[in-house]
Structure 1
Amino acid sequence: SDNMERDLIEQATLLNTREEYIAWEQRCDEFIESLKEQSRIKRSRLSTGNRQSVIACITQLESLKDSVRGRFVHVGATYGLRWREVETAFESRILTGAIINSNYIEPRRFLEDASEIVLESVQCVLQRYDSLKINTVFNGEFVAGDKRANKSITTRNYELYQCTDLREWYMSRVVEPVLASLEEFQERDSGWALSRILNLTVNANKLNPLRAGCHIKLPREIMLKRAVINVRSTDKLNDCAIRLPSEDKWLSFCNHCRKECIPFIVYADLECVLEKMNNDSQSATHMYQHHNIFSIGYYVHYSYDSSLSGYRFRRDKDCIAWFAEELKNLAHSVQSIISANVPMVDFTRDDWEKFNSASHCHVCEKPFTPDDTRVRDHCHLTGRYRGPAHTNCNLNYKDSHCIPVVFHNLSGYDAHFIIKEIATAYEGRVDLLPIIKEKYILFTKHVNSTKIDQKNCV
């Protein structure tokens, strides 16, 4: 089909008589009809891109016919634009049409004069459908020295509804983007310049906006969180409504211990070297390199005492086993720190005055009532006084037993090297948050040997 299209374009420049034109037009019509048959087949072997190319070829040949017709057939002075619909087999396609240009030279005038035809066609489609998704393609012939080529400028899909201002859409989403892209393309160093306007193709597709459905009962664990507004049908016509909570119902934050800065955190990374493999296999695919870990390092940060922070590393083939053992030792160290309750520093006279005059709990930020028992909350790691608190707030304001380990490129690569060693080096289950079977966002290792009196382990 590409050769046939090229031949027709070349022959159009060589026509000298009306008889030659009539014969050429007949061949052109036959070829256009064969292309239309291809675009109409619903189970065609053509890909989506090839179908788009067929439609573009049809519109370009129609434009060529109009330009050649002017040389052999007399047309009125007002003849310049013609609307032509093209049948396609796209499942969601409602309309594909092209405005064929005959004698327009200036792109802006062509687009502005084509507006009435486009808007009339789109308006007719909108009367049958509540909404559309529509885009346009500006096709032109460009020259660069002795070279000629047909190029297209495609606008983005835009959603149209019956309440949409179509004229404003056409100017802001079609005319201005096409002219801007055309100017940008010609100002590049490519050397291409617009020689002839071929057509403007309009593609309208079905649009199914997101709709509310019937009520679906939430799982109990999600419902108890009271963080989801569940849409429910209110009548037999399936008109949906959202029942918002009344003014006396509020969602509140309860995990107040999460407000404290994490006392311990680890930052780690490892490095590998590529080792060449000796493989004499004649197979088309074989392993020729192997990743070997040669170093690993980590930095542990103590937020309450920076003097305890430090960096450690190791470079040898057993560095992963060393790192797993280091994490185990760190877990035991943290467990002993958390278990040792540092007493609160002595109160001064000013501290007592502030404590007695306080009106709100510093943990939950709610006011004290006359029946509340207020206590002095302090940090068990440093002995620092933090503020007055309710008794229950003070008891639940605990330090975390989790040590976050921020590992560079863990989910993408490094997890493969450390997960097996950490899972099997010492007792304790591993909790995974996977992306796929072999790729994890994060995992948590429980160190059973840090458990005391059946309490949480590190």
Structure 2
Amino acid sequence: MDLNKSLQRINAIGNAVERTVIKVRDMEVGKIYEIEKIKAISTQYGRGIVCEIAGNASIFLPQRMVKEMEENVIDQLNNLRMGVVLNGKMANTIDNVNSTLEVIEHFYKNYNLGDVSKIPKITNIIDANLRQIKSSLAGSISVGDKRHLAAMAGKMERYKVLIGQLGKSIAGSSLARRPLVEWRDLATAFKTRVSTGILVNLGHKTLGPFFHDSCKLFISKIRGIFPRYNSPLKTNFEFCAEFVKPAINKNNEVLACREFSFLTKNFNILSGDLNEASLKQLFNSNVVDYLMDRLMQFEEQDSGWALSKIISLTVNVNSVTLLHASSFIELPKEIKAKKAVINVKNNDEACFGWALSSALFPPARDSDRVSSYPYYAQILNFDGISFPMSLDQLPKFLKQNPNLSINIYGLTRKTQSDYVTVPIYLNTEKKANHVNLLMIQQNYEIEKDIENNDTAHNSEEPDEAVRFHFCWIKDLSRLVRSQLTKNRGKLYICDRCLHYFNSIDKLRVHELDCKLVNKCKINMPKPGSHVYFKNHEFKQTAPFIVYCDLECLVKDFQDDETQNTVKYKQHDVCSIAYYLHCTFDNSLSRFRLQRGEQCINWFTRELEEISNNLQEYFINPVQMEPLSDLQMLGYNASTHCHICEEPFLETHVKVRDHCHFTGRFRGSAHQSCNLRYKVPHMIPVFFHNFSGYDSHFIIKDIAQAIPGKVTLLPKNKERYISFTKKMENADVEFRFVDSYRFMSESLDNLASYLKFDDFKILRSTLSHLNDEQLKLLTKKGVYPYEYMCSWDKFMEKDLPEKTKFYSKLKQSHISDQEYSHARNVWRKFDIQNLGQYSDLYLMSDVLLLADVFTNFREKCITTHKLDPAFFFTAPGYTWQCMLNYTKVKLELLTDVDMMLFVEKGIRGGITQCCTKYSKANHKYLDEKNFDPSKPSTHIMYMDMVNLYGWAQSQCLPLNNFKWLSESKLKSLTPETILNISDNAAEGLILEVDLSYPQHLHDRHKSIPFCTHCEKTAGYCFIMFHRICYVS
């Protein structure tokens, strides 16, 4: 067959297959030919080829298929784009199924009545892919690939349902009565997976009804699954939905559309949970509430994505290896020595019953003998409970014994001889008879992570059965004392959070609040802990700092309609520049700029060169210069350390401190302070608006092209406060920081605050320019961002017209004054083309940023004695400035109840959504709006700003936190409390009961007093972008 002729034919009808780019690879030599170039090839191929379609994964075509392509080229290409299995194989299942999903989604979204004949073909393609996925899942592939394939199978099933509904609507079936949620079984990916299903959304627009219908189907499915397995089930859910970026203009145009999924935590379904009410409660608490919280957090914190379309809810049901407790097991000798646990030597499998009997009827002696206790079945209701006891039967047992509550603990082995007690099951409410049980096992392995107390097996293959045994914890304090404190006195232990108290009264007060956080382990600071200023090394000036900026070509995006994301503009970096500023030797300062497709790669190489060149200055300090007579006199007369500003005592060693970069003497210092007074081997790299824009273009290359670790400080998934690159081949790291987080104004405004003499870096770097040219550069120029859409634009020899500077993002033109400035710059600098103009614009931006931030640093160092270049943001800098200036030592709370007490008082800002309406009526209005017959009224709108700033400038608590005694509490009255001065040496944090008079309800209904932080009943969830949203 003449492949050249065939491919020419394919090329001629390329538009029929949506401008698909086809590449043909010679299987022997590996060379790739594109259609445009293959016309010149007339070689007769006697072997198969590999087609790569639209950048997707390669698909192998045997020689037979190449010949068949001659007859029906379009169908073959469509089949390829849909990932149909050819020759019984797929070169890469995951990539091919992804390709298939794209085409199927495109078919569904662009469906019209003329496509009805294609529905059976599409359905067959889906079935073929589902069979391929099922076959792959049964093979030996990684867990990650299994999960990926299972997720794609869910999407396949969803589109199978949706496309099937299209066929029914054409056939005339009534869709009005169709279910809006449908369950579809999926291929099982794991051996412990009992069932995987997907709840497909077929019509719900809001979350509440979707979850309601999903809950009904879930309950029905679980009730059918459970009887087939003699064990509880572990279940989790994955919610999938489509989100959109909010509109940025008055036309409400959507910027982007993307799918996100949210995975819930596992929860167990026990035999006692099979009634409808219990299953509904489990679904609502573990799925609905959890997902609602996640979705609200995601919308508020993750860069403005808004829920647009509900897609599906995937259900994963797994079997659980039960914890059974049976016959007698000896206590570990370390636990037995504490004499805190009663271990009954039973010969049957009812250790659970005997442990409860020992707790409810403790004997005077022989506590380990069965004969010392009443028979467990005579004192408790064990109807329907089988032995050995398993945890899934516990809810049923407690329901049958309403006056009994049980906590169960286990042991983990920290070292060879050290065991740690951890909670396994905590009862939600303490009853009249409360028992703490210890569940021990036959053998213990040393745990690497003692925080992980999940006793169910998490592996895909069930482990061999482990024997367990129940004992009664007679004294919890004795059992856990050694893991909490070395205090030998009497302790009262909270059996929820395992914190201890010195009196039973304190424990009882604590338990009231601890119920709210009983699933959270709280680690408190050690007694005597304080926060104070100790980062004295930040008083130095960072020796090196890099200022950067980049420019992009803003291209019209060639949108692939089969993708989920609607993309508006594509930004490709076309140039990048930096200025390396050295504070002690200006000869080391330099400016560099690169324009071209590989400019980011060039930038990474420049950073490597900088790190290699500058590490010598960090690791090889300059020797101290000899002190002058005057300096020697000052050193001998000094009484305070110039670093910590504390006095020299007789026990202190006084030394001379010098700059390691210049050798200059800086002052007298404590020897210990001098040893710690080192400049971090860190070079800050500043971009203006790094978080919102520049970081996205450089982080991948910084992470991959340069050897070394990258650490992130993210604000959310799409914005970084900073990231740090540790250079593997040099003892230096680069910290990328956003200057906008220190100075939240445009560079143009910031530059306008400086005088001409303040632009020292710009003037020294461009010293060859005259003052007129330099003054032009001290004002930020204008740039035709959206006009610069291709590399050819750089060769244009004239400044674009003013209309070409229009910004669709800002929806505005530049002013006549700004355009006149651009023309003046073009003329004064004798610019020959737009490339030179772009380079000059970028260079001025970088140098302006360098001068602006250098002036900011100088003022901060002069005023606050700390260099902001060492910090990430202005709030972090001001916090350290406060600690340094005030010299305050803030005591940290070490009492868990104090922390809970204070946390209950945290309010935050009041959020409300309301429509305000008031109409004025007075003589100064026109006749149409003034009604003399009605009372005269005026409108005044008042608002108080900076409430947090005002509060933080008042007297704040410092130390000596303590609970008030009973006598002191009784002496407090409303009058004495209100008469406490705002500047009093001692203040109070009070918990009070307030009555809200009925007559104030209507007056205060718009903004009630004394608000508190809580979740309201029910949820109000907006499905699309919030316009003019008040928060």
1:239 deviates by 4.2
Q: Which residue of 2 aligns with 1:194?
A: 307
1:222 deviates by 5.6
2:231, 2:319 within 8 Å by CA — same for their partners in 1? no
After superposition, give the CA deviation of every residue in 1:203-247 in whole Å (9 maximum; x if it has no partner): 11223354435412643x7645423x2545523446453345535
Q: AA paired with 2:106?
A: E
1:107 deviates by 1.9
1:63 deviates by 1.6
CA distance in structure 1 between the partners assigned to 2:272 and 2:259 by the alignment: 36
From 192, 206, 219, the equivalent of 1:119 is 219
**RMSD (CA atoms):** 4.2
1:112, 1:175 within 8 Å by CA — same for their partners in 2? no
Pick closer, same or farther for the CA change 1:205–1:258 going to 2, 3 Å. closer
CA distance in structure 1 between the partners assigned to 2:99 and 2:329 by the alignment: 58
Secondary structure in structure 1 of the residue aligned to 2:325:
coil
Secondary structure in structure 2 of the residue aligned to 1:103:
coil
After superposition, give the CA deviation of every residue in 1:366-402 in whole Å (9 maximum; x if it has no partner): xxxxxxxxxxxxxxxxxxxxxxxxxxxxxxxxxxxxx
After superposition, give the CA deviation of every residue in 1:434-453 in whole Å (9 maximum; x if it has no partner): xxxxxxxxxxxxxxxxxxxx
Which TM-score applies when normalising by structure 1?
A: 0.50
State how 1:360-439 maps to structure 2 within 5 Å.
none
1:69 deviates by 2.8
Pick closer, same or farther for the CA change 1:21–1:211 going to 2, 3 Å. same
State how 1:1-150 maps to structure 2 within 5 Å.
1=95, 2-15=98-111, 16-41=114-139, 43-45=140-142, 47-48=143-144, 50-74=145-169, 75-76=173-174, 77-80=176-179, 81-127=181-227, 128-144=229-245, 145-150=254-259
Count how many residue pairs are aligned between Structure 1 and Structure 2. 276
1:122 deviates by 1.3
After superposition, give the CA deviation of every residue in 1:233-266 in whole Å (9 maximum; x if it has no partner): 523446453345535799899xxx967xxxxxxx
1:134, 1:203 within 8 Å by CA — same for their partners in 2? yes
1:141, 1:194 within 8 Å by CA — same for their partners in 2? yes
- Identify, as 1 or 2, the structure richer in strand: 1
1:126, 1:161 within 8 Å by CA — same for their partners in 2? no
CA distance in structure 2 between the partners assigned to 1:258 and 1:181 by the alignment: 45
After the TM superposition, which of the residue ranges 149-158 and 191-200 deviates more from structure 2?
191-200
1:315 deviates by 7.7
After superposition, give the CA deviation of every residue in 1:80-102 in whole Å (9 maximum; x if it has no partner): 33211123232322221111222
From 315, 330, 343, the equivalent of 1:216 is 330
Secondary structure in structure 2 of the residue aligned to 1:17:
helix
1:121 deviates by 0.9
CA distance in structure 1 between the partners assigned to 2:287 and 2:336 by the alignment: 47
Structure 2, unmatched stretches of 5+, are: 1-94, 246-253, 368-473, 479-486, 490-534, 538-614, 620-648, 656-670, 673-1031
Secondary structure in structure 2 of the residue aligned to 1:114:
helix
Secondary structure in structure 2 of the residue aligned to 1:90:
coil
Q: AA paired with 1:6?
A: E
CA distance in structure 1 between the partners assigned to 2:120 and 2:339 by the alignment: 76
1:36 deviates by 2.5
From 312, 315, 319, the equivalent of 1:206 is 319
From 168, 172, 175, the equivalent of 2:288 is 175
1:109 deviates by 0.8
CA distance in structure 1 between the partners assigned to 2:132 and 2:207 by the alignment: 31
CA distance in structure 1 between the partners assigned to 2:192 and 2:120 by the alignment: 37
1:92, 1:206 within 8 Å by CA — same for their partners in 2? yes
Structure 1, unmatched stretches of 5+, are: 260-270, 274-286, 291-309, 321-458
Q: AA paired with 2:339?
A: R
1:314 deviates by 5.2
Pick closer, same or farther for the CA change 1:312–1:223 going to 2, 3 Å. farther
CA distance in structure 1 between the partners assigned to 2:208 and 2:488 by the alignment: 61
1:199 deviates by 1.5
Q: Which residue of 1 aligns with 2:977?
A: none
After superposition, give the CA deviation of every residue in 1:254-303 in whole Å (9 maximum; x if it has no partner): xxx967xxxxxxxxxxx9x9xxxxxxxxxxxxx9999xxxxxxxxxxxxx
From 272, 280, 284, the equivalent of 1:163 is 272
CA distance in structure 1 between the partners assigned to 2:488 and 2:292 by the alignment: 55
CA distance in structure 1 between the partners assigned to 2:153 and 2:116 by the alignment: 23
Q: AA paired with 1:31?
A: N
Secondary structure in structure 2 of the residue aligned to 1:99:
strand
1:118 deviates by 0.5
1:86, 1:96 within 8 Å by CA — same for their partners in 2? yes
Pick closer, same or farther for the CA change 1:210–1:20 going to 2, 3 Å. same
Q: AA paired with 1:194?
A: L
1:37 deviates by 2.3
Pick closer, same or farther for the CA change 1:175–1:246 going to 2, 3 Å. same
CA distance in structure 1 between the partners assigned to 2:255 and 2:295 by the alignment: 20
2:147, 2:189 within 8 Å by CA — same for their partners in 1? no
Secondary structure in structure 1 of the residue aligned to 2:177:
coil
After superposition, give the CA deviation of every residue in 1:418-448 in whole Å (9 maximum; x if it has no partner): xxxxxxxxxxxxxxxxxxxxxxxxxxxxxxx
CA distance in structure 2 between the partners assigned to 1:315 and 1:37 by the alignment: 76
CA distance in structure 1 between the partners assigned to 2:231 and 2:350 by the alignment: 19
After superposition, give the CA deviation of every residue in 1:160-190 in whole Å (9 maximum; x if it has no partner): 2122211111222222332343344345563
From 226, 229, 234, the equivalent of 2:346 is 234
Q: Compare relative contact order (CA 8 Å, sep 6+) and give the higher one, 1 or 2.
A: 1
Q: AA paired with 2:206?
A: E
1:14 deviates by 4.1
CA distance in structure 1 between the partners assigned to 2:488 and 2:351 by the alignment: 42
Q: Which residue of 1 aligns with 2:1007?
A: none
1:215, 1:230 within 8 Å by CA — same for their partners in 2? no
Q: AA paired with 1:156?
A: K
1:100, 1:198 within 8 Å by CA — same for their partners in 2? yes
Pick closer, same or farther for the CA change 1:189–1:37 going to 2, 3 Å. same
Q: AA paired with 2:363?
A: S
Identity of aligned residues (%): 21
1:212, 1:231 within 8 Å by CA — same for their partners in 2? no
Q: AA paired with 1:131?
A: P
1:119 deviates by 0.3
Pick closer, same or farther for the CA change 1:246–1:8 going to 2, 3 Å. same
Which TM-score applies when normalising by structure 2?
A: 0.24
CA distance in structure 1 between the partners assigned to 2:103 and 2:167 by the alignment: 20
Q: AA paired with 2:260?
A: K
Secondary structure in structure 1 of the residue aligned to 2:104:
helix
1:98, 1:200 within 8 Å by CA — same for their partners in 2? yes
Secondary structure in structure 2 of the residue aligned to 1:138:
strand
Q: Which residue of 1 aligns with 2:426?
A: none
Pick closer, same or farther for the CA change 1:258–1:32 going to 2, 3 Å. closer
CA distance in structure 1 between the partners assigned to 2:338 and 2:238 by the alignment: 50
State how 1:257-272 maps to structure 2 within 5 Å.
none
CA distance in structure 2 between the partners assigned to 1:153 and 1:104 by the alignment: 18
Q: AA paired with 2:347?
A: D
1:105 deviates by 1.9
Q: AA paired with 1:125?
A: I
After superposition, give the CA deviation of every residue in 1:27-54 in whole Å (9 maximum; x if it has no partner): 222122222222333x323x34x32222
Pick closer, same or farther for the CA change 1:193–1:238 going to 2, 3 Å. same
1:112 deviates by 0.5
CA distance in structure 2 between the partners assigned to 1:125 and 1:153 by the alignment: 24
